[in-house]
């Protein structure tokens, strides 16, 4: 990614699900802007450590920290460690998520619960815990949710995923409203079709790839780096009057 114009020097950022794909690209972007970055992971320990090593080799500060984002006690321990090693969090990017493709009539309750637990409950648990600490420390912080365009339109075999992302959108707006008095801004980014670890196999199917491209006016599949600029903008003082907003990065998918 090209060097950013935004300056986040002296700030501390936490990126959930920051070891791979979009989360990893966001963590690198925040670090290049001068923020110390805590990279949360659940199972991908090696990927998280390699991300930290890459940031540090470029002169930045980073920390890999494990936590189940839907477990309040785990999240509390994670934040204690982040504060102890980097300092209180100024910027939170809620990005951790899971996805499975299953027809609505075949979704088992366990699968529904697993998707909602990570994608929605996780955003609430981490968002509330970080916001409480921001208030305690008097930090006018910034929270960014990665919600995807599934929050805006329906797709086949993704009812549970779309519900989790639609819930994230309303969580973003509600948090923005309730936290405004504390100077905490809450916004979301809605990536469209971005090639990641979760959909790479789908994109190898030529017919599926062509079908998806036909729904994108710019006729381009995004990369994780395409998402980074919007997050950096929302985290910067340039977005100081933005809260409760949704920013689409989708090649025009949501205008047709």
Q: Which of 101, 12, 65, 33 is nearest to 25 (CA)?
A: 33
pLDDT reported for residue 3? 53
pTM attached to this predicted model: 0.95
Q: Tokens for 126?
A: 């981490």
pLDDT score for 4: 59
pLDDT attached to residue 1? 43
Angle between helices 21-32 and 225-235 (to 10 degrees): 50
* Reduced 3-state DSSP string for the chain: CCCCCCCCCCCEEEECCCCCHHHHHHHHHHHHCCCEEEEEECCCHHHHHHHHHHHHHCCCCEEEEECCCCCHHHHHHHHHHHHHHCCCCCEEEECCCCCCCCCHHHCCHHHHHHHHHHHHHHHHHHHHHHHHHHHHHCCCCEEEEECCHHHCCCCCCCHHHHHHHHHHHHHHHHHHHHHHHHCCEEEEEEECCECCCCCHHHHCCHHHHHHHHCCCCCCCCECCHHHHHHHHHHHCHHHCCCCCCEEEECCCHHHC
The Cα–Cα gap between 212 and 139 comes to 42
pLDDT along the chain (256 residues), means of 10: 74 98 98 98 97 98 98 98 98 96 97 98 98 98 94 88 96 98 98 90 90 94 96 97 97 90
Active-site residue, from 6, 41, 123, 161: 161
Closest CA relative to residue 23, chosen from 198, 228, 167: 228
User: Is position 161 annotated as part of the catalytic site?
Assistant: yes
Facing residues of 40 across strands?
A: 65
Could you tell me if 91 and 13 are in contact, meaning their C-beta atoms sit under 8 angstroms apart? yes
Return d(Cα 96, Cα 171) in angstroms, integer.
15
Cα torsion 5, 131, 27, 153: sign: negative
The C-alpha atoms of residue 74 and residue 228 are separated, in whole angstroms, by: 27
Tokens for 87? 């300092």
Residue-range domains of the chain with CATH: 12-249 (3.40.50.720)
Q: What is the pLDDT of residue 112?
A: 98
Copy the structure tokens of residue 202: 């789908």
Q: Rounded distance, CA 189 to CA 97, Å?
A: 14
47 with 127: CB under 8 angstroms? no
């Amino acid at each position: 990614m090209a060097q950013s114009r935004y300056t986040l020097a002296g700030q501390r950022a936490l990126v959930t699900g920051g070891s791979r794909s979009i989360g990893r690209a966001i963590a690198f972007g925040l670090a290049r802007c001068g923020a110390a970055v805590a990279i949360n992971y659940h199972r991908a320990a090696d990927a998280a450590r390699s991300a930290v090593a890459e940031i540090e080799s470029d002169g930045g500060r980073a920390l890999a920290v494990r936590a189940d984002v839907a477990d309040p006690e785990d999240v509390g321990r994670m934040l204690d460690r982040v504060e102890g090693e980097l300092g209180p969090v100024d910027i939170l990017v809620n990005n951790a998520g899971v996805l499975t493709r299953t027809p609505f009539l075949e979704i088992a309750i366990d699968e529904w619960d697993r998707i909602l637990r990570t994608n929605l409950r996780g955003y609430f648990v981490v968002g509330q815990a970080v916001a409480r600490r921001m208030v305690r420390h008097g930090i006018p912080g910034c929270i960014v949710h990665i919600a995807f365009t599934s929050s805006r339109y329906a797709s086949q075999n993704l009812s549970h995923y779309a519900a989790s992302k639609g819930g994230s959108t309303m969580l973003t707006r509600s948090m923005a409203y309730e936290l405004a008095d504390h100077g905490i801004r809450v916004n979301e980014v809605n990536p469209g079709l971005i090639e990641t670890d979760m959909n790479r196999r789908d994109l190898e199917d030529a017919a599926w790839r062509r079908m998806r491209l036909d729904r994108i006016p710019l006729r381009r599949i995004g990369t994780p780096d395409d998402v980074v600029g919007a997050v950096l903008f929302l985290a910067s003082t340039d977005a100081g009057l933005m809260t409760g907003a949704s920013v689409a990065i989708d090649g025009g998918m949501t205008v047709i």
